[in-house]
Amino acid sequence: MRLYVPLTLLIILVSGFRYYLLIQAETTEVRQRASAEMRQASHFLLPVIKELSARHQPAEIKQLIEREISTSDQITEITWQDEHGQLVAENITNSISAAPPWFFHFILLKNESQVHQIMLSDGAMATLQLTTSPATVIDAIWAKVCTQAKLSAAIIFTIFFLLSLILRANARTLAKLAIATIRFKKGEHSVRMEVAGSVESRALASTFNSMTEEVQKLFKSLQLSRHELAIEKEIVETTLASIGDAVISTDIDGNILTLNKVAHQLTGWSQQEAHATPLKHVFTLLDAIDQRRMTIFVQGIHVVENKLESSGNNSPNNSEKNRIESDNQDVLQSSGKMLINRNGQQHEIDFTASPIKRKDGSVIGCVLVFRDVSEKRLLMQRISWQAGHDQLTGLENRHLFTERFKLAIEQANADQYWLAVCLLDLDHFQTINEQHGQEVANKLLQNIAGRLETCIATANSGNYIARLGGDEFVALIQVQIGAADLEDKLTRLMTELSRPHQFEQKEIAITASIGVAIYPRDDLNPDILLRSADQAMYQAKLNGRNQFHVFDAQLDQQVRTHHNQRTRIRRALIDGELRLYYQPKVNMRKGEIIGMEALLRWQHPDKGIVGPLHFLPIVEHTDLIVDIGEWVIHQALEQLVLWYEAYSHWVLSVNIAARHFQHPDFLARLTSILADYPQVNPQSLEIEILESAAIQDIQYVREVIIACQELGVRFALDDFGTGYSSLSYLKRLPTNTLKIDQSFVRNMLEDQEDLALISAVIGLADAFKREVIAEGVETAEQGVSLMRLGCDYAQGYVIAHPMPARTVDSWVRTYRPASEWSLQAKLA
């Protein structure tokens, strides 16, 4: 309603001013129109009346002016005055106004007239006067005002109507806004206003909804933060309550704020009792010095904070702040201290104290973490004892014996006496274990340990006993007098150990074999002495058991040298130092490469490339030769996979030692290895065995060769002619190829006997349908001679030296057979 009053007044004021201007404009227009009409009428009447007057026709003049006034809307009176008299015509209708009297007086218009004088034909003067009434003008203005008033009324009504609608809509929107605001205040943060209605209503609703969404997000974020803080607090409290360490926190003055469950158990103070209590009253150490250090540390935190606060007014720089903080320890740590709790009980503890700082580095308190290590100390002592002792017998174990051994050597060296290292192994202990069970075997070991301690490691004897594991023991015996003294002690020990043992009405007898090494006679190194004793013990067992054997250094040196060499070769295999080099095999007649022979080399880190004759004889009678042979087969098959696309027709030969070939699982292992390379055609692999190896067990070798050939693998008899070659052997060995040994080829052009042997081998190969290839061909002339004898296949330096796999492709591209061979092929 307050809006309508000023709006109405404004409309009245504007309308009044508008109508004033309208009336002024209309008045001027009506006057101009009336004046124009009078001029037009006078222009029409004067000539006509002048003529009628000259003819003295007053009646016609009267009719004329009456007719003229009747047709005029503005003129109310026309008067003609001449010498004959006056004629007047009036229009009463034009003089009566339809406008209300107040409007008539408001306009204040007067009658207007126009007077025209003319000279008649007789020279007399006449007058024509036309008069308009204000009523006509006022009526015209009133009609205009009425029309405009109606339009204004319609417009004002429309304005007020639309304004009412807008106000009503806004009122509803404001009411909705008020309701939504009240609901939001009551906690209904999901309340939203409907975006509808006028542009303003929609804008207001959108603004309210955006505001509530932001507030709701902030509220949810606040709730989430509070929830997370509550969870974190609960986690911290639960963690502090559940961890195995005791935790106490204090304020800046050293008064306790929190104390977890473990701290309560160790100190005897509950959280309620300890709250706001000085730390030194709750956390009390037995040692006064330790307690004083703890008190000074807590007080120092307070001092540092006060210094920083006092200097904060002067805005201290970082260097000054660091100097103040460096005056006090950041962390106080100590271990093995005794804590006295409220009840007087003592606990051995380790503790750490450190200041609690805000992100800005200001100190707000102290946290003390400590744990009871009493049981830990006992456990560590127990573990330490177990780490150095055998659990079953209680004797020292290998680990502790190693340390004891070093000390015993130092003592023997200082006091200049011999130290006998005696390694003892029980004879047939495994049989006793299987016959009588684990429990009896364990008791037997405990009895043996007891006898050893009684016989050797008596008090102040300086001797030691240890169990190395299983049924193996070691003793360190001081030899003050000489070898006779040691022999006497060992004899008595053997007698004591051989006495029967009683177990639940069972009598069990067991003996021992003892190996002896003597310091410093045999060596100075503890590990070498122990290995020497082990070799001597092994020799005692070989000699019949139940005896002792003293180490022989000369025999050991020979064994050790071969052992070290074999160990180094095994290490070369493991470390990937072995290599395969490849020597081509060619068909001299056709000039084609038919394959390669894989030759073993050792890429020694110090000696460079080492040939097989320098290391294979050392291991050929050990199982290491089997591992090397399998490695060679694997490498060869991998290379065949790489060569498959370019050289699928090649046959790759590998040399297999006699021990490897005669191994019981050779066939099974070869089958398994071939299965690992399904891309390789087994016919591409050729195994070369020495003739001397084949005749050791010719029937077994024959069976293996046939089984391997069923897999597709080819066989070649290497160095044929150097062993016990015979027709019988050649017939029984179904090999695919015979290889003529290079010792015959080397001198075939000078030695007729070698030439005859080669011719005989070629003849045998031809007779038994075997392929034949000559190795060691070093000149083109040797190749020509072989071709004349019927041997077209060859390998040797004249073709190529053995080469690594990476250079094979380049060699193949550049290989050209000897021209002499091509010429011989044409002659044949």
Residue 409 pLDDT more than 70?
A: yes
Q: What is the spatial distance between Cα 787 and Cα 110, in angstroms, rounded to a whole number?
A: 159
Beta-carbon contacts of 195 under 8 Å, excluding residues fewer than 6 positions away, are 202, 205, 206, 209
Residue 404 pLDDT more than 50?
A: yes
Q: Can you give the pLDDT at residue 711?
A: 94
Weakest mean pLDDT among 540-544, 597-601, 639-643, 817-821: 540-544
Q: Tell me what the pLDDT averaged over the chain comes to.
A: 84
Beta-carbon contacts of 424 under 8 Å, excluding residues fewer than 6 positions away, are 452, 472, 473, 474, 475, 512, 513, 514, 537
Q: Encode 198-213 in three state secondary structure.
A: CHHHHHHHHHHHHHHH
Could you tell me the pLDDT band of residue 691, with boundaries at 50, 70 and 90? low
DSSP-assigned letters across all residues of 16-47: HHHHHHHHHHHHHHHHHHHHHHHHHHHHHHHH
**Helix, strand, coil percent content, the chain, rounded in steps of 5:** 55, 20, 25
Please give the average per-residue pLDDT across 403-412, as a whole number: 88
Q: What is the spatial distance between Cα 413 and Cα 419, in angstroms, rounded to a whole number?
A: 9
105 compared with 582, residue with greater pLDDT: 582
> How many residues comprise the chain?
828
Tokens 């030769």: give the residue.
625
250 compared with 523, residue with greater pLDDT: 250
Residue 700 pLDDT more than 50?
A: yes
351 phi/psi in degrees, rounded to 5: -140, 155
Weakest mean pLDDT among 44-48, 368-372, 640-644, 734-738: 44-48
Dihedral sign, Cα of residue 99, residue 102, residue 106, residue 108: positive
Beta-carbon contacts of 80 under 8 Å, excluding residues fewer than 6 positions away, are 49, 61, 65, 86, 87, 88, 126, 127, 128
Residue 173 pLDDT more than 50?
A: yes
Model pLDDT for residues 178-197, shown as the tens digit of each residue = 888 888 888 887 888 888 77
247 compared with 557, residue with greater pLDDT: 247
Residue 556 pLDDT more than 60?
A: no
Each residue of 768-793: b (16+ CB within 10 Å) or e?
eebbbbbbbbebbebbbbbbebebbb
CA 640 from chain centre, in angstroms, equals: 39
Q: Can you give the pLDDT at residue 316?
A: 44
535 and 556 in contact (C-beta within 8 Å)? yes
Model pLDDT for residues 500-533, shown as the tens digit of each residue = 998 877 889 999 999 999 888 767 788 888 888 9
Describe the strand order of the beta sheet including 125-132 as a list of residue ranges.
85-90, 75-82, 125-132, 112-119
Q: What is the spatial distance between Cα 254 and Cα 296, in angstroms, rounded to a whole number?
A: 11
Model pLDDT for residues 133-162, shown as the tens digit of each residue = 777 667 777 778 888 888 888 888 888 788
Please give the average per-residue pLDDT across 262-275, as a whole number: 90
690 compared with 472, residue with greater pLDDT: 472
Q: What is the spatial distance between Cα 477 and Cα 408, in angstroms, rounded to a whole number?
A: 9
Residue 692 amino acid letter: S
Q: What is the spatial distance between Cα 437 and Cα 276, in angstroms, rounded to a whole number?
A: 67
Count of other CB atoms within 10 angstroms of residue 497: 22
Please give the average per-residue pLDDT across 256-278, as a whole number: 90
* Helix/strand/coil for 114: strand
Please give the average per-residue pLDDT across 714-733, as a whole number: 73
Could you tell me the pLDDT band of residue 328, with boundaries at 50, 70 and 90? very low
Percent residues over pLDDT 90 in the chain: 33
523 and 533 in contact (C-beta within 8 Å)? no
Q: What is the spatial distance between Cα 674 and Cα 665, in angstroms, rounded to a whole number?
A: 14
How far does the chain reach from its first CA to its final CA, in angstroms?
135
Q: What is the spatial distance between Cα 128 and Cα 125, in angstroms, rounded to a whole number?
A: 10
CA dist 673 → 580, 634, 645, 701 (Å) = 18, 7, 21, 20
Beta-carbon contacts of 667 under 8 Å, excluding residues fewer than 6 positions away, are 704, 707, 708
* Helix/strand/coil for 545: coil
Please give the average per-residue pLDDT across 664-679, as a whole number: 94
Please give the average per-residue pLDDT across 531-538, as a whole number: 89
Q: What is the spatial distance between Cα 465 and Cα 427, in angstroms, rounded to a whole number?
A: 19
DSSP-assigned letters across all residues of 695-743: TTTHHHHHHHHHHHHHHT-EEEEEEETSS---HHHHHH---SEEEE-HH
Residue 76 pLDDT more than 70?
A: yes
Strands 472-479 and 418-426: antiparallel
Q: Can you give the pLDDT at residue 674?
A: 95
Residue 2 pLDDT more than 70?
A: no
736 and 771 in contact (C-beta within 8 Å)? yes
Model pLDDT for residues 301-326, shown as the tens digit of each residue = 766 555 545 544 444 444 444 443 43
Q: Can you give the pLDDT at residue 696?
A: 62
Residue 727 pLDDT more than 80?
A: no
